[in-house]
A and B are shown apart, each in its own frame.
Chain A
């Protein structure tokens, strides 16, 4: 059963052949794109998981130190120190493109101007907390980069897989089916024309025989 309603003519045969060629080419290209994206994705997963684990373990330590600092000095004092902090961080972004997907590259610069407070009135835990949170900050750039890239890439992979499947499972078989139908119909009409010619020739030669 032909999927496309086309008159079985030579013109349509050529058109379908061209379309089929185009679909096959598109399929190959998209399949390549999918493979490249998946390779990229695999590499990123490990990086993202590693970054997440690092951030989380640092963050856990950081919260531990902060809890201690708050316990020893009181929340008010910690907040005061926070107000007086002189650390500046700056994030700069650039972009990497993989197969048309834009992936962020994140760079975190931390400008640290210590000391931040009078040592006498603060606990060692606050130092520890600052150190840990700064470490978290440094790692966060990598985590953000990996996670967001991963999200965008996996969305693109899903889209590409859908397209590859549509071409492979629907369009290409449909074109092939139509092509076969047109070819068969053309052959049939050729045979028919041949037969008619033969018939005419027979009749003619019989007539000629009678005439003789």
Chain B
């Protein structure tokens, strides 16, 4: 199983340096397409998508994550750092569980 990167040019170049395949994506449509394609490939185990791009297609992201248990998707910050106002892991869990843990 392999990693797959869906991100801006810099991020993809960076991960290419360590031998990963990736797709440079510039807008929401491109991101949707890249995500669908990555889901159909059967040798991809983990998809890394940059937070900035993921936030533009938030609905589809949730859809993908809830419908498929595989491949795993994780969001990573791009070179500008973590997105402002992003939901932290703790907040995510609190929201899902409905109580503070």
Q: Which residues of A come within 8 Å of B, CB atoms?
A: 38, 41-42, 45, 48-49, 52, 55-56, 59-60, 62-63, 66-67, 70, 75, 78-79, 81-83, 85-93, 102, 104, 106, 110, 126, 129-130, 133-134, 137, 140-141, 143-144, 147-148, 150-152, 154-155, 157-158, 161
The interface residues of chain A lying within 8 Å CB-to-CB of B90 are: 45, 49
Is B34 at the interface (CB under 8 A from chain A)? no
Q: Which residues of B come within 8 Å of A, CB atoms?
A: 1-3, 10-11, 13-20, 45-46, 48, 65, 69, 72, 74, 76-79, 81-82, 88-90, 92-93, 96-99, 101
Name the distance in Å between A53's Cβ and chain B's nearest Cβ: 10
Contact B2–A89 (Cβ < 8 Å) = yes
Name the distance in Å between B18's Cβ and chain A's nearest Cβ: 5
The interface residues of chain B lying within 8 Å CB-to-CB of A90 are: 1-2
Contact A85–B45 (Cβ < 8 Å) = no
Contact of A157 among B16, B48, B88, B97 (CB under 8 A): B97
CA distance A155 to B62 in the complex (A): 13
The interface residues of chain A lying within 8 Å CB-to-CB of B89 are: 45, 48-49, 52, 147, 150
A-B complex: 5 closest residue pairs judged by Cβ atoms:
A82-B16, A87-B19, A63-B79, A154-B96, A91-B45
A-B contact pairs, 13 of them (CB 8 A): A45-B89, A45-B101, A56-B81, A56-B82, A82-B13, A85-B17, A91-B45, A133-B17, A147-B89, A148-B74, A158-B97, A161-B97, A161-B99
Work out how many contacts link A and B, with CB atoms closer than 8 A.
125
CA distance A88 to B16 in the complex (A): 11
CA distance A129 to B48 in the complex (A): 18
Known contacts A45-B101, A155-B96: does B72 contact A106 (CB below 8 Å)?
yes
Known contacts A49-B90, A140-B74: does B18 contact A91 (CB below 8 Å)?
no
Name the distance in Å between B56's Cβ and chain A's nearest Cβ: 20
Name the distance in Å between A140's Cβ and chain B's nearest Cβ: 7
The interface residues of chain B lying within 8 Å CB-to-CB of A87 are: 18-19
